[in-house]
């Protein structure tokens, strides 16, 4: 079997769609598709993959219109895709997969055909990509790493591309049970992400992280497509008072203002365990959800491939296998504070 992954904010709470296919290799899938897709590429691909994939039908329409022969090798498939597949970005073809980057003039998109041998060889890069369900497993037994650390990975809102649509932030010296208190008592400095400024402001004196995430889920103050966090980066008790006032203004409402129009917080999901907190916030009926995961070294030690692949997925790069592939278990995408996104 091979695995198809479509990374798209239009697709569910995780912003992706996963489908397992029966073919032995990626090349075999394209050869089969060449035979079966000709009459109606859109319908066949939708049935086969379970989703409308932007631009993928172009290669099969070109095959019909120009009488292109089915690919006979990886090199032949690469030539065909480079010449006839419509993508706004790039397409990468090798013996174990096809990876494509594009956009629909609204959001960045990517799709991956992955040989099972890739999944076995590089789970530190691909484990989250093929994760189909929310929430992630939260079991975490063990001592953790040599040094405590909590990692936040999240998708970002606003005018985004592959470099700015997600972020990874690490908090050395703290584990998740103490994360809310740590965030509440930490001074905001230049470079904090707006999302973390809001989360800090939403934490009450009882340091209830789950309640703070509920506040973020119901946030109704926006500056165009960005969070409005005016006044939230100073004294934390005052910032918390402001967040309570914003929530009071929209109490009882099922639909709230959002970055792209109406958002429905009732569709959001939040789950907080001892060493993993995870949330998805409804952004828009068309544009899906914002994802947030917060985990510490104890959870990462129990789910090292999933943790590493989360950092990779949200690390600001579309191609999960780009660059020199390191041995299984290594991940080089850990990042700390970065500069704020431009408004």
Nearest to 242 by CA among 226, 264, 225, 227: 227
pLDDT at 338 over 50: no
156 and 305 share one domain? yes
Ordered DSSP codes for 109-171: EEEEEEEHHHHHH-HHHHTTTT--SSSPP----S---SS-EEEEEEE--SS--TTTSEEEEEE
In a domain, 330, yes or no: no
User: In this structure, are residues 326 and 332 in contact, taking their beta carbons and an 8 Å threshold?
Assistant: yes
One domain, residues 174 and 88: no
Is it the case that residue 336 has pLDDT exceeding 50?
no
Domain count, the chain: 2
Mean pLDDT of the 86-106 span? 95
Do 169 and 231 fall within a single domain? Answer: yes
Same domain, yes or no, for 277 and 157? yes
Residue 308: Cβ-neighbour burial (10 angstroms; 0-12, 13-18, 19+): buried
14/87 same-domain check: yes
Q: Are residues 159 and 284 in the same domain?
A: yes
Residue 36 lies in a domain: yes
Q: Domain of residue 249: give its range.
A: 149-313
In a domain, 339, yes or no: no
pLDDT digits (tens, 9 = 90+) for 284-318: 999 999 999 999 999 999 999 999 999 999 998 99
- pLDDT tens for 248-292 read 999 999 999 999 999 999 999 999 999 999 999 999 999 999 999
- Do 63 and 112 share a domain, yes or no? yes
> What average pLDDT does the segment 184-197 reach?
96
């Amino acid at each position: 079997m091979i695995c198809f992954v479509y990374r798209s904010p239009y697709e569910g709470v995780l912003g992706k769609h996963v489908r397992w296919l029966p073919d032995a290799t990626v090349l075999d899938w394209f050869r089969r598709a060449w035979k079966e897709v000709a009459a109606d590429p859109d319908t066949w691909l939708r049935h086969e993959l379970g989703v409308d994939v932007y631009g993928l039908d172009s290669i099969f329409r070109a095959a019909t219109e120009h009488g292109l022969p089915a690919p006979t090798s990886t090199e032949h498939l690469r030539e065909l895709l480079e010449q006839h597949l419509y993508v706004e970005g790039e397409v990468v073809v090798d013996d174990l997969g096809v990876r494509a980057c594009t956009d629909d003039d609204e959001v960045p998109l990517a799709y991956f055909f992955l040989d099972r041998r890739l999944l076995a060889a590089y789970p530190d890069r691909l484990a989250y990509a093929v994760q189909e369900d929310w929430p992630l497993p939260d079991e975490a037994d063990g001592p953790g790493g040599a040094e405590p650390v909590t990692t936040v990975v999240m998708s970002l809102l606003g005018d985004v591309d592959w470099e700015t649509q997600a972020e990874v932030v690490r908090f050395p010296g703290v584990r998740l049970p103490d994360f809310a208190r740590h965030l509440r008592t930490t001074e905001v400095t230049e470079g904090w992400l707006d999302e973390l400024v809001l989360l800090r402001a939403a934490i009450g004196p009882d340091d209830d992280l789950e309640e703070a995430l509920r506040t973020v889920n119901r946030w109704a103050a926006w500056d165009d497509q960005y969070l409005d966090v005016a006044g939230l980066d100073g004294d934390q008790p005052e910032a918390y008072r402001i967040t309570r006032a914003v929530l009071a203004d929209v109490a009882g409402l099922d639909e709230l203002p959002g970055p792209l129009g109406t958002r429905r917080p009732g569709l959001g999901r939040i789950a907080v365990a001892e060493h993993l907190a995870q949330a998805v916030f409804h952004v828009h009926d068309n544009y899906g959800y914002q994802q947030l995961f917060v985990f510490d070294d104890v959870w990462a030690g129990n789910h090292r491939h999933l943790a590493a692949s989360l950092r990779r997925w949200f690390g600001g790069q579309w191609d999960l296998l780009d660059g020199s592939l390191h041995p299984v278990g290594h991940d080089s995408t850990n990042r700390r504070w970065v500069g704020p996104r431009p408004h």
